[in-house]
Chains A and B, each alone.
Chain A
Amino acid sequence: MAKGRFVLSFPPSLVGEPLTYTLVKNYNIITNIHRAKITPEEEGRLVVEMTGELEPAIRYLEEKGVKVEPIAREILVEEEICVHCGACVGVCFSRALSLNTETFEIKFDREKCTLCEFCLKACPVNAISSKF
């Protein structure tokens, strides 16, 4: 049994396919979908945690035309540097970054992050990094 987090990117033509259902049914994979982002024009992006026999499952996905990238990187917000302005929130479309409406502190929800790295550019004080 192996476990890993992956970014699955697939063309619009595959949007309707029951990919995760097949993974569960035919490959005995336990999936935990962290974030799905599908827009009509763009490719779909899915951040998923998979547990099970990963190799055949990944082969299946790749044969279907899905790009499978293991997530080794991690977004890191450095508390010491962050001024809690909220500038990063404006470019984080998966809403992984948000401002707490009570404390007005920045909150990062790793599960929702699609690793697009827009926030790295948006942060005016360089408090965000992408760590391997």
Chain B
Amino acid sequence: MKSEKKLSTITLSPHLSPLTRKGCDLMAKTFSEINKKIKKGNAVVLTAEEVIKMADTEGISKVAEKVDVVTTGTFGPMCSSGAFLNFGHSDPPVKMSEVLLNDVPAYGALAAVDAYIGVPAISRTKGMDYGGAHVIEDLINGKEIKLVASSSGTNCYPGKYVETYFTLNDLNQAYLYNPRNAYQNYSCATNSSSKTLFTYMGILMPNLSNATYCSAGQLSPLLKDPYLQTIGIGTRIFLGGATGYVAWEGTQYNTKRKRTEKGIPTGSAATLALVGDLKEMSSDYLRACVMYKYGVSMFVGIGIPIPVLNEEIARTVCIKDSEIYTDIIDYSVPSLSKPVLGKVNYEELRSGTIEINGKKVPTASMSSYKKAREISHILKEWIVEKKFTLTRPVAPLPVEREFKSLKIITREEVKING
């Protein structure tokens, strides 16, 4: 710990951001210095909203000098989520390959009694009304889940079928592993066609009659550290009401998105893969949901502490809704690249009405700002009460990563290229 350098952001990710190299920073702090303060009980911890207020009255330099940690929060539907479960062996043991949990198929092509239940999986009997997210929520709430598993049988696993009931406590391991969460910004959705669209961004009414958005904006974790200078692999976070960790870069992680002058990407950019113990989570912060005629998803509550290591980070944690812009996308075009109808900031989105092509359009949020705020306060409390310290990332997240699309080619084209 003693060898940790003052300019820890630079050692973390040398070419990450031009910002870190700007000027010499006399007020720089390190993770271990902040943790010492947390343990002593004299760390200054503010939520992202609180620090914005402070910057308005006292300025960024004072924030850099006085504030140690800024807590963030988000609570939105995140489809790319799920949980690994281990059931333990039955007698005779079964190499479970087909696994149903309350009639919802889980992925069983792992070792004998492991399975992965994905949030969007839907029930074979109830369809979209009940899915993987509901299984996870029922587990958290201590409900009995029906397990039906089958296999063709092997010499070492002679059993071919098992049917039983279990609760979360009965499982050996149950951990949430979400391949893509915590999107750094997301575009605003609208619909210029004459038909209603049912999407993961909610119900989009015809003729630009509404626009939906899905980000906690100024409270959202990755928007407060836009170049991911303090968040990396191993970062300890709030996940679903419990402690979780950043496991890896999230899928579809993208560093190529255009950024505003303040460094904020104007659409979906970085993402995180997150992991945490399901046994400690609460359905207050992990909640199954159904997007009408689209499918099952799950509201995931996430909070990430941002250490105010230097003045640059002090500046980014203070970026507010009015400075965070996102693209307005027309979902009526059924192809991968959809037309951009304009740009809008979160202050405008939250006001309830925006203007698209000269028309006043009512807005609706898909993610809960109230819950995001709640999470930022809980995380603050944990830190103030010394229950939670910060972790210096074990490794940084990628500085360069392109989000490629899938090419559709024929067997012949493979031969030509190869």
Show the binding face of A for B, using Cβ within 8 Å.
Answer: 83-91, 93, 95, 98-99, 101, 103-105, 118, 121-122, 124-126
Contact = CB atoms under 8 A, between A and B. Distances in A.
A83 B75 contact: yes
Contacts of B290: 124-126
Contacts of A101: 350-352
The 8 closest A-B pairs by CB, nearest first: A90-B364, A124-B289, A86-B365, A104-B370, A84-B370, A104-B369, A89-B364, A90-B210
B203 A86 contact: no
Nearest to B137: A125
B393 interface: no
Main secondary structure of the interface of B (DSSP, over half): strand
Contacts, number: 85
A39 to B, nearest CB: 11
A83 B368 contact: yes
Contacts of B368: 83-86, 104
Given A103-B370, A121-B292, A122-B292, A87 B202 contact: yes
Given A99-B352, A124-B290, A124-B291, A86 B366 contact: yes
Interface of B: 75-77, 202-203, 205, 209-212, 287-292, 297, 299, 350-352, 362-371, 373
21 contacts: A84-B369, A84-B370, A86-B364, A87-B212, A87-B365, A89-B362, A91-B202, A91-B203, A91-B210, A91-B364, A93-B209, A93-B362, A99-B352, A101-B352, A103-B370, A122-B292, A124-B202, A124-B289, A124-B299, A125-B290, A125-B299
A60 to B, nearest CB: 34
Contact of B287 (A104, A121, A125): A125
Given A83-B371, A104-B373, A124-B289, A91 B205 contact: yes
Given A85-B299, A124-B289, 13 more contacts: A83-B368, A84-B371, A91-B205, A91-B364, A98-B352, A99-B350, A99-B365, A103-B370, A104-B368, A121-B203, A122-B292, A124-B77, A125-B288
